[in-house]
Structure 1
Amino acid sequence: MQIENVELFDLDGKIKEIDKMYAHTKENYKETLKEHLYKTYEYFLFLVKEKGLGKQIKFLAEKLKLSEESEKLFLKFFVNAVFLHDIGKINVNFQSVKMKNDIYIKNDVDKSDTNHSLLSAFIYLNIYTEEVEVIMSKKEKRILEGILFLNSYAISKHHSSFDIINEYGKKIGNFMKKEKYKDTCQHYEVKKFNPTISINDVCEKIPPEYVFIYIRFLFSCICTADFYATGSFMNSKAQNTLNTIKDEKIIEKYRNTELYKIIGKSVKVNDLTNVSDINILRTNLFKEAEENIKNNLNERIFYLEAPTGSGKTNMSINLATVLLENDKSLNRLFYIFPFNTLVEQTEKQLLDIFGENYIATLNSLTPYKENKKSDEEDFGKDYEQILLDRQFIHYPIVVTTHVNFFSYLFNIGKESIFTLANVANSIIIFDEIQSYKNSIWKYVINLLEKYAEFLNLKIIIMSATLPKLSNLTGEKVVTLIGNPKKYFEHPIFRERVKLDYSLLNFELKGNFDRNMEEEKLLLKIKEIAKKNDGNILVEFIRKKTAYEFFEKLNSLNFENRKIMLITSDDNKIERNRIINYLKNGNEDVILVATQVIEAGVDIDVKYGFKNISTLDSEEQFLGRINRNSRKKGAVVFFFYLDDPKRIYKEDHRLGDELSLTLLNEKNRENLLNKDFNSFYEAVFRKIVKKIEKNEKGNEEDINRNFRDLNFFEIEAVFKLIDEDKNVFKVFLNRNITDESGNIINGQEVWNDFFSILIDQEIGFAERKVKLSQIYSKLNNFIYEIRGTQIITYTDIIGDIYYIENGEDYFENGKLNIKKLTGEEVEFI
């Protein structure tokens, strides 16, 4: 059955005075409830057509292996859940109090209950429960009753966040038992019925993860269609495009680049033994990955494992165009990164290829994207459309972070969930997915597989140190590089940088002398600096140590050397200033840094020093050294000042007693030979061992949360970054010079921020858009500091402390944390 042929509930025949009830009002205009419900249905059909959602809507029915008759009912229930999402607005109190509907104002019932969402869910259940009785199979009957219950939950929540479905069961049960609908539901004749308030029969038939995705997907369809319909009335403007990828232009734009043309003319080399040009290896990798994805177009998850500096981003863009070319159902592309620095770097690459009309960056640092039009100067910006585009990701290519994308998949907030329909039929490219909580890797890859199957996603996971996460789950994953080892062990990649462990010659279990180790580090840096033949990069894993070492280097006499510092505190302007100085051919820098340097910072230096941590991080760091194999004598010295356990805490990649770090000779061999499979085999053993233990968050607990649809607990499990409550956001007022030489005045930015917040003349959408624009400027002045106090501040807005004399707290261009807090604290 086609979606558009599904029978809709008879509003005129079953709801008294439906034409006299309102759904929305604006100024002197009123939209009837009937108009809104039909408009929502029309936008639902528009969404289904534009995004191609027919298969997703039918997915669960097919998984449940329902009979033809039951499947028709399933579709009817789904479509009418969207159509009847606001049917509860027949509540006479809603009409009287919210809509100021004259017909119902004189109604003498208690007007305190104006809720319409729960009443909508109740009426929906009341309408369709009896239709299940025609099904002969008792099993299918119970399954369809469970589906009705699920659908009613989505309806009840379309103005709020998800919680626990069992709590909703109690709520709707109490609502029916106490007949709370009697006074408010006067225009629909409630039938006696006994609905099933359980999803057990559904979850027994199929993995509960599918049910979890289904309810989020339905909710997304309801909210998306509802928003489009409401917006078309409130703003007098139809939503006529979702900005999907519809034509070959994106493919053409990429294939017209010089790099693609050069690779296209190149021939794949079978024998790499005597190859001395890194570009030949890059070409081989490019072509092999392309061949393998073409041979596996029906698969859903692909691994792209290639050495640092091998051109993975370019390879992934090509792979995306191959998928788009061969699967016309795919209509959106997501690039997902662990850090904002990687987001910025890749955004620039994509903009250079595709242009700004195709690309949108979604993070806290980037203003909402505006689709500029020729008439904007005359009529002003369409703030409602800008906000709607952001809320429902109406962009062909999206660049965002793991945290943001995972919120679409797992968070309970409606703003996160209602993006899901627009995520369907997309290509998702993950970079360094192993950067977060390895304790949940198994569940992440399992859920990604389920999401990919349900929503028709093609997922490419790329990394230089890629753990074969499928080994934890048994899911089928296509490896795009058949034998990565031949590339990793090729001299161009393997011998690009010499690894030196001379600074690790100490007994950690004895009386570890940190001061002595720091002095050894300083002496070695001085020795290298005297050569004056290349830049030096020094990475620490604690920000506090990086700041202290930066200050120490500045106090010493380094002839012909500039001492610089780059951390996550640095705004985009400062970060680009440092990077551009290095990229412009200057060879006189000692750059002190934190882990932010490992990814998304496009630099190439000759000498490196690094505090040991995880093997992944060591390899990422090596990617900043002699990146293009043109610096003879490049070397990295590993040292130990700070304990990785303090930073990475329960990260299994460190092993017991740091047994999986470079303190172990075996892991030095693994790093030299780029043998990350051996390393991750040991990591996986630790993960499996922990899962098998009866600990909080173990496999059975997680499975139970899915069976019970405990959305709170599921969100908590898949939360990538835990919130630190002992954190202050501090705005330090000062003047900053941008890359074009313009002065950004902190006082003016703060005043603009305050003005937007208090402006009563602007609407919700305009405020949200303007706040996104001012936040991108605010971030140039905001520092996050962990501690117990701020010594003094001038003003406070929300959770942001404003300090007037911000420049007083800087030395050598960097923040002096002790001056600000008066105590030894950590930066975030």
Structure 2
Amino acid sequence: MESIAHIREDDKQIQTVEDHLLEVKELAESYGEKIGIRHIAGLAGMLHDLGKYTLEFKSYLLEAVNNPDQPPKKGSVDHSTAGGKLLYELLHTQETLRENMYKVFLSEVVGNAIISHHSYLHDFLDPELNSKYLNRVADKELSEFNLTKQCFFNRVISEKEFSLYVDQAAEELEEYLSRHPQDKWWEQLMFLTKYIFSSLIDADRTNTRLFEENNKFKETLDVNQLFQQYYQRLMKKIEFFKNQQNVNEKINVLRSQMSDRCDKFAERPSGIYTLSIPTGGGKTLASLRYALKHAKSYNKKHIIYVVPYTTIIEQNAEEVRTILEDDVNILEHHSNVIEDRKNDDESQDGMITTQQKLKLAKDNWDSPIVFTTLVQFLNVFYANGSRNIRRLHNLSESIIIFDEVQKVPVSCISLFNQAVNFLKNNSNSSILLCTATQPALDFVEHKLDITSDAEIIEDLDSVIQDFKRVEIVDNASYTSFTNDKIIDFLKKKALEVQSMLVVLNTKSVVKNLYNLLKETEWDIPIYHLSTSMCAAHRNIILKEIRDYLNKGKPIICVSTQLIEAGVDVSFDCVIRSLAGLDSIAQAAGRCNRHGEHSIQNVYVIDHEEENLSRLKEIKVGKQIAKQILVDIRGDHNAHGGDILSKQAMDRYFKEYYQILKSDLNYFIPKLDIEMTELLTSPRHLNNYHNAFQKKYNKSIELLITNSYRTAAENFRVIAQNTMPVIVPYGEGKEIIAELNSYRTIEDLSKLLKKAQQYTINLYDFEKDHLIKNDGIVSYLDGNVYALKDGGYNKEYGLVMENDNDLDSLVF
């Protein structure tokens, strides 16, 4: 029987199953080798499409290709179960458990990845006490299974060689687990399973794309040489700065010292380090200097910047591109344009449909330098679907720089810490936590494994004082403000300063203040910013704002918190609605940012019109910050006498996490369980396993009993469901027009990459409202959505009757 794995669209050439399995195995091995699990990953690669060795699949695929208008019934052939079933049959026995339990673990870890590679990892035990994993590998009957095994051992690898390969994989697994205490094994097995799944997904899709494009080999890049060139270019730029006239100005001297310190610190071994450069201290270049020096010293393959908002991705990426003189190898990943569907796409494998082309589009973070968001980072580890997790293996052998790390949502703290610990301890990655306001991530229950003597900056209190460019004025602990009162305040300040920024906590109050200001008779440009605007729109607004600021012309900007996280703007005066100390500090960083003037004022106010009932984290932060302000007003020496002191910040975060302690482990209300338990609880402590024992009076015949798919289905970085939608703004209109006219997978990849900057995310109620009013159109077989004209404007972005107050992290 001639086997068929895929049939190329343009010339109908066949890729055999054995060619596909061996090529995917080779790619998966290269991904696994990065963390010492070459054979574990290779095992998944060589077995994943084993079920294509059947007459049933061959007939199914030929019929689908020859009769595209009347394809066979979807889901009529299962080809992903066979590989997992073979491992279960060979390794998952009582005899093997007695002789080598690591082989039993191996069958579960690799088997789950294999049977899931067209959807998402299965639950070993779900809330209904069923094992979807066992249903597939143990219970499901495959009519041609004996033929499948015969073809595999005759055409891919002999039984003897396969047995030796499994032995090597089991040895790797034993070594992997031996690095950790036994009570941590289930956490490590969860991450290992996800890493194998990531390697398999990327290897499978990369090989399929190469075959479809008629390319034999995956392109390779000498990253070590590239990082060496980058470092030389960066140092050339730094030398240029040192010869400028203003080099001896105090703030520039301090920035130079911070940069030099990062260069020296980069010689230390990989670990988790903190870079607490005060706002305006040149964090981007200092962290880049650390990363490039460390990369070339320790053979790292990627530098990944993780930022809280898409607002600053383009700004930072452009700054890095200019310095490194490279427009090709720096990737900006703003958002997922495609909604990652939950349905299984196994029925389309082998054919090149629209959905398959979307799946094969290059989206795996294999660039030398990547800029992405905190939401995307967390989705890689915990979100449902295969698009996000495909990127996980490329986080290994990397330097990962978290910019404004204090923006990690409280509900995701434990999950974030566990993921970062995995990258440090198992993936040969180095982590840099950058912020002026370091959160106490080693204070919580699931602690971050921060390296000893982790802080790069010496004598932090003195550095904070040296960088002081603003005075925080307390207008919040004894009075309250309305938007009308803010306008009166702005009118008085306009007599003293040229530029003013107002940062408020909710989108509705921001929009209301903006409209009230427009109604006044001031002859001053007034700007509005919020996440209702796509990234390209916000960047254009910010460019106009910077032009006014650089020319010293009068301007007022009203914004939500998105402007605080690293946006390089400098106003004469900032008014910040009371929130957490970290938010106040970040807002202060938008005032007198480069020390252009003597000490300027940042006014903290308590805005009585803000509804924080659905914004628990802001509400709690506001309460603690207000008490600290009250303390300082009563005693000028309290908390170091400064609301932005290290003492005040330490007290703030410890109290903040203590109050929100019950929220740190991502609680899932409808299941009455924490996500950390679903993912990492040992079998004997697993609630579902204990309930299974009680119900059936026996233990389930599995070593791993965690619920990976249930956890993923219930994970949202932002609590409310959102859907990406392309907006008809600027080039977004052209992108929407081109969605149905692309030619190749490469064309589609480029188009979707470009579309990221013209995408916003709709909450469910917004999506439902727009669908009801015919405001959305779908493209690419319902995989991509776009707003119709009229649903977006140049002032507010998304046009909705009722504004949503949530202005959280942007995809």
Q: TM-score range by the shorter chain?
A: 0.7 to 0.9
Call closer, same or farther: CA 1:209–1:582 in 2, change over 3 Å. Answer: farther
Counterpart for residue 288 of structure 1: 261
What does 1:234-245 correspond to in 2, within 5 Å? 234-243=212-221, 245=223
Q: Which amino acid aligns with 2:206?
A: Y
How many angstroms does 1:116 deviate by? 0.8
CA contact (8 A) 1:521 1:639 kept: no
How many angstroms does 1:169 deviate by? 8.1
How many angstroms does 1:118 deviate by? 0.6
CA contact (8 A) 2:361 2:746 kept: no
Matched, 1:21 2:18: no
How big is each residue's C-alpha offset from its partner over 1:13-61, in whole Å with a ceiling of 9 and x where there is no partner? xxxx5xx22222234422222222222233345x35xxxx435134xxx
Counterpart for residue 498 of structure 1: 471
Counterpart for residue 455 of structure 2: 479
CA contact (8 A) 2:680 2:706 kept: yes
CA distance in 2, matches of 1:86, 1:788: 39
Q: Which amino acid aligns with 1:505?
A: Y
Call closer, same or farther: CA 1:406–1:500 in 2, change over 3 Å. Answer: same
> Which of residues 28, 42, 58 in structure 1 aligns to 2:26?
42
CA distance in 2, matches of 1:466, 1:717: 29
What does 1:605-684 correspond to in 2, within 5 Å? 605-632=571-598, 634-641=600-607, 642-643=609-610, 645-646=612-613, 648-650=615-617, 654=621, 659=626, 662=629, 665=632, 669-675=641-647, 676-684=649-657
Call closer, same or farther: CA 1:785–1:276 in 2, change over 3 Å. Answer: farther
CA distance in 1, matches of 2:626, 2:714: 27
CA contact (8 A) 1:793 1:804 kept: no
What does 1:166-177 correspond to in 2, within 5 Å? 166=125, 170-171=131-132, 173-174=134-135
CA distance in 2, matches of 1:255, 1:93: 58
CA distance in 2, matches of 1:791, 1:220: 34
Counterpart for residue 335 of structure 2: 364
CA contact (8 A) 1:424 1:456 kept: yes
Q: Which amino acid aligns with 1:279?
A: N
CA contact (8 A) 1:730 1:784 kept: no
CA distance in 1, matches of 2:236, 2:547: 26
CA contact (8 A) 1:90 1:185 kept: no
Q: Which amino acid aligns with 1:613?
A: A
CA contact (8 A) 1:652 1:686 kept: no
Matched, 1:212 2:186: no
CA contact (8 A) 1:209 1:450 kept: no
> Which of residues 213, 217, 222 in structure 1 aligns to 2:200?
222
What does 1:325-724 correspond to in 2, within 5 Å? 325-328=296-299, 330-354=300-324, 355-364=326-335, 390-472=362-444, 473=447, 475-477=449-451, 478-490=454-466, 493-494=467-468, 496-502=469-475, 504-506=477-479, 517-531=482-496, 533-558=497-522, 561-570=524-533, 571-572=537-538, 574-632=540-598, 634-641=600-607, 642-643=609-610, 645-646=612-613, 648-650=615-617, 654=621, 659=626, 662=629, 665=632, 669-675=641-647, 676-688=649-661, 702-707=676-681, 708-715=705-712, 719-724=716-721
- For the pair shown, which has the larger CA radius of gyration, 1 or 2? 1
How many angstroms does 1:155 deviate by? 1.1
CA distance in 2, matches of 1:441, 1:39: 39
Q: Which amino acid aligns with 1:529?
A: A
Call closer, same or farther: CA 1:664–1:728 in 2, change over 3 Å. Answer: farther
How big is each residue's C-alpha offset from its partner over 1:91-140, in whole Å with a ceiling of 9 and x where there is no partner? 331122224599xxxxxxx998521101221123334558x95x7xx666
CA contact (8 A) 1:228 1:239 kept: no
CA distance in 1, matches of 2:255, 2:543: 29
SS in structure 2 of the partner of residue 149 of structure 1: helix
CA contact (8 A) 2:624 2:656 kept: no
Q: Which amino acid aligns with 1:343?
A: I
TM-score (norm 2): 0.77
Larger RCO (CA under 8 A, 6+ residues apart): 2
Q: Which amino acid aligns with 1:37?
A: L
CA contact (8 A) 2:475 2:603 kept: yes
How big is each residue's C-alpha offset from its partner over 1:628-647, in whole Å with a ceiling of 9 and x where there is no partner? 22213521222122447446
CA distance in 1, matches of 2:558, 2:619: 27
> Which of residues 59, 83, 92 in structure 2 aligns to 1:96?
59
Counterpart for residue 141 of structure 2: 180
> Which of residues 796, 804, 809 in structure 1 aligns to 2:776?
796
Q: Which amino acid aligns with 1:522?
A: I
CA distance in 1, matches of 2:666, 2:24: 49
CA distance in 2, matches of 1:93, 1:215: 30
How many angstroms does 1:235 deviate by? 2.1
CA contact (8 A) 1:125 1:148 kept: yes
Call closer, same or farther: CA 1:670–1:714 in 2, change over 3 Å. Answer: farther
Structure 1 alignment gaps of length 5 or more: 1-16, 59-74, 103-109, 192-198, 270-274, 368-382, 509-513, 737-743
CA distance in 2, matches of 1:821, 1:386: 30
Counterpart for residue 107 of structure 1: none
How many angstroms does 1:471 deviate by? 3.0
CA distance in 2, matches of 1:157, 1:384: 16
Give the number of aligned pairs: 711
SS in structure 2 of the partner of residue 186 of structure 1: helix
How big is each residue's C-alpha offset from its partner over 1:305-326, in whole Å with a ceiling of 9 and x where there is no partner? 1211111111101100221122
Call closer, same or farther: CA 1:557–1:785 in 2, change over 3 Å. Answer: farther
CA contact (8 A) 1:410 1:714 kept: yes
How many angstroms does 1:501 deviate by? 2.1
How big is each residue's C-alpha offset from its partner over 1:313-350, in whole Å with a ceiling of 9 and x where there is no partner? 1110110022112212x111101101011212111111
Counterpart for residue 161 of structure 1: 120
CA contact (8 A) 1:31 1:233 kept: yes
Structure 2 alignment gaps of length 5 or more: 66-72, 154-172, 339-354, 633-637, 682-704, 779-783
How big is each residue's C-alpha offset from its partner over 1:352-375, in whole Å with a ceiling of 9 and x where there is no partner? 1121122111123999xxxxxxxx
Call closer, same or farther: CA 1:689–1:523 in 2, change over 3 Å. Answer: same
How many angstroms does 1:825 deviate by? 6.2
SS in structure 1 of the partner of residue 596 of structure 2: coil
Counterpart for residue 372 of structure 1: none
Matched, 1:770 2:751: yes
Counterpart for residue 321 of structure 1: 292
SS in structure 1 of the partner of residue 439 of structure 2: coil
CA contact (8 A) 1:652 1:687 kept: no
How many angstroms does 1:601 deviate by? 2.5
Q: Which amino acid aligns with 2:472?
A: L
Counterpart for residue 209 of structure 2: 231
How big is each residue's C-alpha offset from its partner over 1:495-524, in whole Å with a ceiling of 9 and x where there is no partner? x21222246533x7xxxxx6xx44443332
CA contact (8 A) 1:430 1:460 kept: yes
Call closer, same or farther: CA 1:386–1:437 in 2, change over 3 Å. Answer: closer
Call closer, same or farther: CA 1:89–1:678 in 2, change over 3 Å. Answer: same
CA contact (8 A) 2:400 2:429 kept: yes
CA contact (8 A) 1:667 1:679 kept: no
Q: Which amino acid aligns with 1:538?
A: V
Call closer, same or farther: CA 1:346–1:39 in 2, change over 3 Å. Answer: same
Q: Which amino acid aligns with 2:541?
A: R
Calculate the aligned-residue CA RMSD, in Å: 4.3
SS in structure 2 of the partner of residue 333 of structure 1: strand
CA contact (8 A) 2:274 2:432 kept: yes
How many angstroms does 1:530 deviate by? 2.0
Q: Which amino acid aligns with 1:488?
A: I
Call closer, same or farther: CA 1:824–1:438 in 2, change over 3 Å. Answer: closer
